[in-house]
Structure 1
Amino acid sequence: RKIFADIAKVSYSGISTNWKDDKEIPSWVEPFLYYYEKGLALDELLKILEKYKNKEKLE
């Protein structure tokens, strides 16, 4: 919750985890989380590629 609140620039206390809460999730949340996770995966891939790119320069 804290990471999401920081990224979305919303208050931590404004993010509900109460299962009895009837508030609808805003429509932007699902695509936001999709692209956030995709970005994290891309960052990891780029780290791996950079490691091998640097290794090729040494040879």
Structure 2
Amino acid sequence: MSDQNDPRVRHQDLVQQVEEHRARYYGDDAPTISDAQYDALERELREIEAAHPEARRA
């Protein structure tokens, strides 16, 4: 299985992206993606966490 298809790798990538965009939005008041794009990242992250409970964020 390639890393691109590994849900653990995608989860890690999404966590990093969500945290980065959250900091830009709330901390810097300078978002770089739309609310809809951010919501899509969050939705995908929640879907992975639902399918793979061991990957859930603390």
TM-score category (smaller protein): 0.3 to 0.5
Structure-2-length-normalised TM-score: 0.38
Which structure's relative contact order is higher, taking Cα pairs within 8 Å and 6+ residues apart? 2
| Larger radius of gyration between Structure 1 and Structure 2 | 1
Structure-1-length-normalised TM-score: 0.38
